Amino acid sequence: MSEKLLLLPILIPALSALLIPAINFPDKKARNIFIECSVLLNSLIIILLVNYPPQNTFTLFRMSERASFALRLDGLGTVFALLIAVLWPLTTLYAFEYMSHEHRETSFFGWFVLTFGVVAGIALSSNLLTLYLFYEVMTLTTLPLVMHEMDGRARYAGRKYLIYSVGGAACAFIALTYTMSQGGGEFFTLGGTLGVWPNEPSQILLWTWFLGFLGFGVKAAIFPFHGWLPSASVAPTPVTALLHAVAVVKAGIFAIIRLTWYVYEPETLSGTWAQYAAFAMACITIVYGSSMALATQHLKRRFAYSTISQLSYILVGVLLLTPDGLVGALTHMGGHAVMKINLFFCAGAVLCQTKREYIFDMRGLGLGMPKTSLALLISGLALCGLPPSAGFMGKWQLGTASAASSPLGHAGIAMLMISAVLTVLYVFSIFSIFIMPGKNFDFKTANMGVKDPGSQMLLPLGVLAIGAFVYGLYAEPMINYFSRIAQGLL
């Protein structure tokens, strides 16, 4: 395929976003059909590009000899691209029914579709500069979604999100300018192009990488730069689902992988204070996020803190700086996206149908919303790591990679085990409230008028619940694919 086609996944959502408010649709149904078809078309193009990837890089323009705006699809890019291609249409379908109870739907869907193209741009970036530009544009396109309600809480969450993002952007910019000045980051190649030069103090290299890790780590919600993520849960559930499972947080992870494995040389970072410091931050985040999830009664915030913890599972694999660690990171990145987006969908269904936000108000809800509760149970079990689910395969790959990486990996295993226990506790405490509300509890009175949502919300719940276990059952081909990526064969 022609490399010029790499522009399509970026341009189609941009054009569709402009047309949504411009077209005078006869009704909401016509508008929704247009939006879903636009999203599906974009996903189809991404899938075709993955199956028939262009061999060359498409350079749109050059700003200097070393700085260019260029697109290319390599093995790592296909992982992120397929992730958004599969999950965005399901989220869009879910959003139609969810947003029918909200206001300013046209504005919401315009920004929502536009963000699809921006995130696709991150996946297709050929170099660090292009990735950075799309990464920062993503902040601007997701900010209106976070602030959609435009009430006090939404404005506060938006300000917090923007402040954290700008701070992270400043750190990432330092890494960008330094690597470009040294000839790194001009194109992504596994193993990196930046090492230690005879005339360059290695500490500058390490500090620059660490600043880049912190900068991109803001979007990956690394402690202590995680505060924006729970606050962003005030946004409509389709937004929080994408923020916490696919678009923003996974873009942060993706950028860290690019910086660590495709710009800097992993061998140069291995065994240094920079690796140990970043690894320690990831381990702390794992336990902190799980602990806060257990202590939080707000359902969406509980899942937000869970995301904070699970994202650092992935970072542990990345920061082991071994091919097996990278395979484990990619395995868990895909599995977590499927599990966590569905848990947020379930939380959104409860909020949409009952207006209940806190777990202690959801006693006996399993009787009134059995289908939603079943989807929550299946995805929750997968998150806990029940074999052969997506959660189990991700944790297994990370565990085996950590065991082979001594002594750093052993510390990672300890944190993963502590978090696994906490995950079981905060997931099963939700189930106990849903189906075991206590003696003499009046199910009928508590669930009067409560029922499952309509098909547009239930269909994604069912597909993703099944997907959480299909991912684990047929993980071997994906793991083999990830292994080829880690070996530089794709």
Please give the pLDDT value at position 268: 85
- Establish if 469 belongs to a structural domain: yes
Radius of gyration of the chain (CA): 22
What are the tens digits of pLDDT across the range 389-444? 999 999 999 999 999 887 888 999 999 999 999 999 999 999 888 888 777 777 77
What are the tens digits of pLDDT across the range 438-456? 777 777 777 777 888 999 9
Please give the pLDDT value at position 261: 94
Q: Are 285 and 224 in contact (CB under 8 A)?
A: no
| 103 pLDDT tier (thresholds 50, 70, 90) | confident
Average pLDDT, the chain: 90
- Establish if 162 belongs to a structural domain: no
What average pLDDT does this structure show over 452-465? Answer: 93
What are the tens digits of pLDDT across the range 61-93? 888 777 889 999 999 999 999 999 999 999 999
Alpha helices in 105-151 (DSSP H): 105-124, 128-146
Q: What's the one-letter identity of residue 30?
A: A
- Calculate the CA dihedral of residues 383, 388, 392, 396 and round it to 10 degrees: 180
* pLDDT surpasses 70 at 367: yes
User: β-pairing, 68-71 with 58-62?
Assistant: antiparallel
- Establish if 253 belongs to a structural domain: no
- Establish if 481 belongs to a structural domain: yes
Inter-CA distances, 207 with 44, 108, 201, 275, Å = 41, 40, 11, 11
Domain span at residue 438 reads 270-490
What average pLDDT does this structure show over 30-50? Answer: 96
Please give the pLDDT value at position 198: 47
* Measured distance CA(159)–CA(153) in Å, rounded: 10
The helix/strand/coil state of 26 is coil
- Establish if 422 belongs to a structural domain: yes
- Establish if 118 belongs to a structural domain: no
Number of domains composing the chain? 1
342: its two tokens: 């569905």
- Establish if 379 belongs to a structural domain: yes
- Establish if 374 belongs to a structural domain: yes
